[in-house]
Chains A and B, each alone.
Chain A
């Protein structure tokens, strides 16, 4: 497939936004049970939600560049019964709205206690909204990944590993950003976030490598024989029917060499996983310089851009069988 930068930015940016929110709410949940020091609503949660929202808005803006007719985008919320894309279109704004509310109730300290757990733990409004947003964050990861995973003949994508990767890679970048954010806003949480960021990044490495191995072993189901229905072992296309390009030759080919593809694979494995883990390890000591954490996030985000580019480029669409020769 031809990797579209609008979709690459959409999926990576909202991944960071979702991950950052999940990190914030994880910290709040821990603090609820007194496992972590409680943070200032205003400086930590409200600002953190604001940053998450900025990434989500960035992703939303990027997504519009993918549309031929962005003015009709509202129509895309109608087919949620059948289309994962439509479901994403609904869940993304719902999640953004919930993150906005989460930030808002923290910002203005609107914390009426709605229930009390047996241990005397007060469940206030922020926890309820946070839980809803937490659910929506995972739903959004699921919708985004299922857009690709549901296409059964794009076999590189048609796997539960796609969903797992979207959750883990988005989560990893979000927790890395949370580490950086904590280094500025709440230094006592740096170790907590850095620890989770390292764990999620390593889990992401495992599942991404698993999907790379799976994809390397795939044998195409469609062949030139099944594509034109002629049972002869040797079929060669002499012409695709036209000499200039067409949508079919632009949209479904990445247009780069196999060597380029291979190098991108090693680059993203290095940038998205290895380098950030090494940089985040400095955060585990609890006294990492902010510059290193900035570097960790930027490197990981660049790595994830490369990862997403590779994700699209690697998928081999069966229609390519029909477009192999100009003549």
Chain B
């Protein structure tokens, strides 16, 4: 069974918000109608977004680190938002595991948003229905697009390739390799929703060198003791000779 998902590399994300704007651009222009923006230029702008990039500071000064954290629907394998829906508007697709809302069936009771521990669903104040990340389902299977284009807008927009996209149930996919080899993890595993999207942790490349690895203990020059240095005025062949 296929489970399409994103794998987001927190080690690479630079917090540029390109995924946020490209997501908004694609999904507000799509077939499902606009994602409302209220007071876009006013005092208290608000609107519906599927994707956000948040920033956290980890540690205490001076040992702090800035972590940019992209946040969108995790397309849980056991989505708690789906069974609570009274109309069946919320559903998880069997064929690819994407969690979707049927905007024509939704009554806007907001119960699913209460049932999502991650707060990934947003109510659209204009259309009065619940909305959420669709994983750009309207791109993924579009035969008029090239294979390269048949990926979520956020993945295509990411300038640092922090967002990987693929089938996490295929053990040989790029995302499965990333999860396996780079320590991919799920958010809030305590609720057992088994989110399909994974995050790759911050990684630091550290040189682990001992002093004796920098200067060899068994250096033959050391064993015999230092050779007498020639005087400055004497001729020399750099390091090789010392007569």
Residues of A within 8 A of B (CB): 1, 66-70, 72-73, 75-79, 82-86, 89, 147, 150-154, 221-222, 224, 226-230, 232, 234-248, 251-252, 317-320, 322-323, 327
Chain B: interface residue count, which band? 35 or more
Describe B's contact surface by its main secondary structure. Answer: loop
Which residues B167-218 have CB closer than 8 A to chain A? 185-191, 199, 201-202
- A-B residue pairs in contact (CB < 8 Å), sample of 18: A68-B107, A72-B87, A72-B106, A85-B84, A85-B86, A151-B84, A154-B114, A222-B188, A226-B188, A230-B201, A232-B58, A237-B54, A238-B66, A241-B17, A241-B52, A241-B53, A248-B119, A319-B117
Which residues B104-157 have CB closer than 8 A to chain A? 105-111, 113-119, 121-123, 125, 127-129
Q: Is B83 among interface residues, defined by CB-CB distance under 8 A?
A: yes
Q: Is B23 among interface residues, defined by CB-CB distance under 8 A?
A: no
Residue A234 contacts which of B10, B59, B116, B199 (CB distance < 8 angstroms)?
B59
- Given contacts A230-B201, A238-B56, whether A317 and B108 have CB atoms under 8 Å apart is no
Q: Which of B26-34, B40-48, B92-100, B225-233 contacts A (4 or more CB under 8 A)?
A: B40-48
Instruction: Flag if B129 contacts A68 (CB, 8 Å).
Output: yes
* Chain B minimum-CB-distance residue to A77: B86
Beyond known contacts A75-B86, A251-B113, A317-B114: 6 more, CB 8 A cutoff: A78-B88, A221-B191, A222-B188, A241-B20, A241-B54, A318-B118
Instruction: Flag if A67 contacts B107 (CB, 8 Å).
Output: yes
- Given contacts A222-B188, A228-B67, whether A238 and B55 have CB atoms under 8 Å apart is yes
Least CB distance, B79 to chain A, in whole angstroms: 12
* Chain B minimum-CB-distance residue to A85: B86
Instruction: Flag if B123 contacts A247 (CB, 8 Å).
Output: yes
Least CB distance, A2 to chain B, in whole angstroms: 10
Provide the residues of chain A in CB contact with B187, threshold 8 Å.
226-229
Residue A237 contacts which of B56, B129, B199 (CB distance < 8 angstroms)?
B56
A221 to B124 alpha-carbon distance, docked (Å): 30
* Chain A minimum-CB-distance residue to B39: A244
Residues of B within 8 A of A (CB): 10, 17, 20, 39, 44-49, 52-60, 66-67, 69, 71, 80, 83-89, 105-111, 113-119, 121-123, 125, 127-129, 185-191, 199, 201-202
Least CB distance, A288 to chain B, in whole angstroms: 42
A78 to B83 alpha-carbon distance, docked (Å): 12
Instruction: Flag if A247 contacts B113 (CB, 8 Å).
Output: yes
Provide the residues of chain B in CB contact with A239, threshold 8 Å.
54-55
A84 to B84 alpha-carbon distance, docked (Å): 7
Instruction: Flag if B47 contacts A246 (CB, 8 Å).
Output: yes
Residue A72 contacts which of B54, B105, B127 (CB distance < 8 angstroms)?
B105
Provide the residues of chain B in CB contact with A318, threshold 8 Å.
117-119, 188, 191
Provide the residues of chain A in CB contact with B110, threshold 8 Å.
66, 68, 251
* Chain A minimum-CB-distance residue to B198: A229
Residue B190 contacts which of A1, A151, A222 (CB distance < 8 angstroms)?
A222
Least CB distance, B188 to chain A, in whole angstroms: 5
Provide the residues of chain A in CB contact with B87, threshold 8 Å.
72, 75-76, 78-79, 86
Residue A79 contacts which of B86, B127, B185, B189 (CB distance < 8 angstroms)?
B86
Provide the residues of chain A in CB contact with B121, threshold 8 Å.
247
Provide the residues of chain B in CB contact with A68, threshold 8 Å.
106-110, 123, 127-129
Provide the residues of chain B in CB contact with A89, threshold 8 Å.
86
Instruction: Flag if B86 contacts A78 (CB, 8 Å).
Output: yes
Provide the residues of chain A in CB contact with B49, threshold 8 Å.
242, 246
Provide the residues of chain A in CB contact with B106, threshold 8 Å.
68-69, 72
Provide the residues of chain B in CB contact with A85, threshold 8 Å.
84, 86, 109, 111
Provide the residues of chain A in CB contact with B58, threshold 8 Å.
230, 232, 234-235
